[in-house]
A and B are shown apart, each in its own frame.
Chain A
């Protein structure tokens, strides 16, 4: 069967690169507010009832949202196996920390209000805080590391090997630029969580969320701008020095890569991509204004727009690189040499085209059913709430 040749290999690779972005953005837009809400929980809500209100704003939806994360993992495995192999093994302990957070969070949501004890509940509140704040920070750190490049190489058998001092080491990830990107994602998701709470709650919680969210939004804008300046002056970019073979086999070692120059030269080559950071600034700026002026639905939408801009700016700036290597630039993973086979990419695209519209449709329906504010009466009056 040569059905898959309907779409050429290079086009499929670009489509899957876009879909990778869509998944990451989908994850940040949906699960992002869960993480933000988790990180805000101990601060926006003081009493037990208040905390239950906050938890119940995400109670019915966090499970579906978290699937974006799992699907992200699965899709990277299916469409970008070398990326899956190199990144998750290289960021080993950081990944372990992220997993621990993502395990802690569902359990916290579900179990917190199943016992009366105040100690039990406050313990889970802090677990939810860690479960939300941890990944929000670490995902940014990981993205920062990807831009800096990581010290891996592929051996003769294409086995991913890491430079001994870096491999798996948590502290190796905490390079200054990576920490700054961590701050961007952390602050951005706090802002997003606050925008969600502004929509779903009222009274004191609502007011606190707005205050904290607008501060976080300003921090995110400043940190994002700083990261741009840093990229211009302090971070080496990577360039493909051999001819681009967009239809070739997925073997990173077949291409040559040089380290040097600036990532931002992409903006000279493809000026249109400036729209991404522009959207990032615009969206976050309007979200901050919205949080201050008591707008609800539009604030959440602006916050989403900002996240969309920020995440896509990273991908568009690095294109065609996905994960560059500092110690052996030739091993760097790019869109052209780190994908699955032509056939697998096609089959997965067909599956995505069938299921993504369905998923979006029923998710939208569920949000519609659950539309409206969560009040203290809802929480205390219902036996179904958390």
Chain B
């Protein structure tokens, strides 16, 4: 890889975004798990649930702060490193980001302080409401950021304005109810819930193995396994929904993920494993499952899914159309109001392909001067890296099904085997703690790497989106982020481990006194006992 501004900017964005997403999924899920635990506390009054809330809340806090801190970079990086992108699509993309601030960030950030500092200052119920508001705020923020990201994948509700040289919003509702965004949102938050469930399960398993805090750990496992099972199912179902929407919104991404070089007769087969080779345009050692791809991708037996080669030919045509649009655009920009009506009409007719002409700007400053070789080259550029996508996707899906199995197992043991867990299962739960993070990062990799060579699919090429920085500036900030983030990561992990080792401040006396009193209450009043 050549060290140019585009590659360095991509590297920096990928690094800071993926680093940010180390903390986000845990925040999304743990905020809800903690709120659930506190709900049980408020409803039953059992002190152990308050101790659980406080303990998992402490770990939530250590993680939350880095999610907030690294999120700041995300909000500003578009302007810093992707200034043409910001200009070109800010009219649409900026809105969900701003609404995220208004609706989500203020909510979670204002109340998270009160969650930690408000135990003695608020009534039980008021504190519970605060906990739920924090969870609600975190999850709202995922909604808006995925509406923004969904628009990059499937840019609906917008059109190009030649006067301002940018995309402008035509329908806020289309942007909001973009099918890609909706599926992505539920898929992503569910992934966050799975992450937190695996985390709570793993840490609790660690206590069980050590024979510490078993009362607290058992209850935590029950909560995590029930919540985790539902979430793990939801991740896979909504992941399938994302795949389905990609079959008509991002055909190239889907074809690349499946290494489908040729269009096949419907229903297409699914390639389970293999070694995709982009140069030769074929997949070596492929193992196929007949019909499966057609069923997953189109949910029909008759609809075809276009292969990569066909899509490249399509891109070739669209680039040629795009050149016509670009030519008309240049006339419009020179003559403004004096532009002849037929030029305007030509532009309107071809403006959907304008972005494809811009793919040529990697090779020539003016797409109108492009040679046939350049057009072929640019059409080939529309194929993303097939091999990494193919495998990243398969590992992610494999892990996704693995989580269903894991959660189902712990759910059954917790429900029907009197909360007894064999040691091997507890050991496995501890070792599996990192797995959901791997799956989540791979998911983002598939979504964003699969979108290449576009920042906004079919609208704006990545190569054109960057700021005109110098390589030196980028190397400096990249080195800065790597160093700074590494140090923070080490510090965070250190604290996390310290607080996990230290364990909850379990007040055994308080719990026992409560249980005794509770038993006495039950004896005194048969009505309560019957209700229990």
Whether A and B are associated in the same complex: the answer reads: yes
Residues of A bordering B, CB below 8 Å: 1, 59-64, 66-67, 69-71, 73-79, 81-82, 84-89, 92-93, 95-96, 99-100, 102-103, 106-107, 109-111, 114-115, 156-162, 167-168, 249-251, 340-341, 343-344, 347-348, 351-352, 355-356, 359, 362-363, 366, 369-370, 382-385
How far is B161's CA from A250's CA once the two chains are assembled, in angstroms? 10
Query: By the criterion CB–CB under 8 Å, are A63 and B91 in contact?
Result: no
Bound together, the chains give a CA A85 to CA B165 distance in angstroms of 14
Asked whether B122 lies within 8 Å of A70 as measured between CB atoms, the reply is no
Give the distance in Å from the alpha carbon of A66 to the alpha carbon of B67 in the complex: 13
Interface residues of B in 106-143 (CB under 8 A from A): 106-107, 109-114, 116-122
Contact indicator B163/A95 (Cβ below 8 Å): no
CB-based contact A344/B83 at 8 Å: no
Nearest B residue (CB) for A362: B110
* A-contacting 9-mer, from B224-232, B404-412, B447-455, B466-474: B466-474
Q: How far is the CB of B249 from chain A (nearest CB, A)?
A: 23
Q: Is the CB of A71 within 8 A of B488?
A: no
Give the distance in Å from the alpha carbon of A86 to the alpha carbon of B76 in the complex.
12
Q: Which listed residue, A59, A71, A88, touches B117 by the CB 8 Å rule? A: A59
Contact A92 B484 (CB under 8 A): no
Across-interface contacts of A85 in B (CB, < 8 A)? 79, 83-84, 86-87, 90, 467
- Distance between Cα atoms of A352 and B103 in the complex (Å): 9
Contacting chain A: which of B94-102, B391-399, B433-441? B94-102
The answer to the question of B75 belonging to the interface, with a C-beta cut-off of 8 Å to chain A, is yes
Q: Is B72 an interface residue (CB 8 A)?
A: yes
Are A369 and B61 in contact, CB atoms less than 8 angstroms apart?
A: no
Query: Could you tell me if A64 and B113 are in contact, using CB atoms closer than 8 angstroms?
Result: yes
B93, A77: Cβ atoms under 8 Å? Answer: yes
Main secondary structure of the interface of A (DSSP, over half): helix
Residue B343 is within 8 A (CB to CB) of chain A in the complex: no
Question: Are B488's CB and A347's CB within 8 A?
Answer: no
Q: What CA separation (Å) do A170 and B27 show in the bound complex?
A: 35
Contacts of B171 in A (CB 8 A): 1
A64-B109, A103-B484, A158-B87 given as contacts; is B117 within 8 A of A384 (CB)? yes
- Number of residue pairs spanning A and B whose beta carbons lie under 8 angstroms apart: 248
Check if B161 sits within 8 Å of A249, measured CB to CB.
yes
Report the minimal beta-carbon distance from A186 to chain B, rounded to whole angstroms: 21
Whether the pair A89, B65 counts as a contact (CB closer than 8 A) is no
- Closest CB of chain B to A333's CB: distance in Å? 11
Known pairs A92-B477, A344-B168; A63 contacts B73 (CB<8 A): no
Residues of A within 8 A of B254 (CB): none
Contact: B86 with A63, CB < 8 Å?
Answer: no
Cβ–Cβ contact B118 & A63, under 8 A: no
In the assembled complex, how far is the CB of residue A283 from the closest CB belonging to chain B, in whole angstroms?
26
B345 within 8 A of A: no
Q: Once bound together, how far apart are the Cα atoms of A162 and B468, in whole Å? A: 8
Whether B488 contacts A369 by the Cβ 8 Å rule is no
Tell me, yes or no, whether B204 is within 8 Å of chain A by CB: no
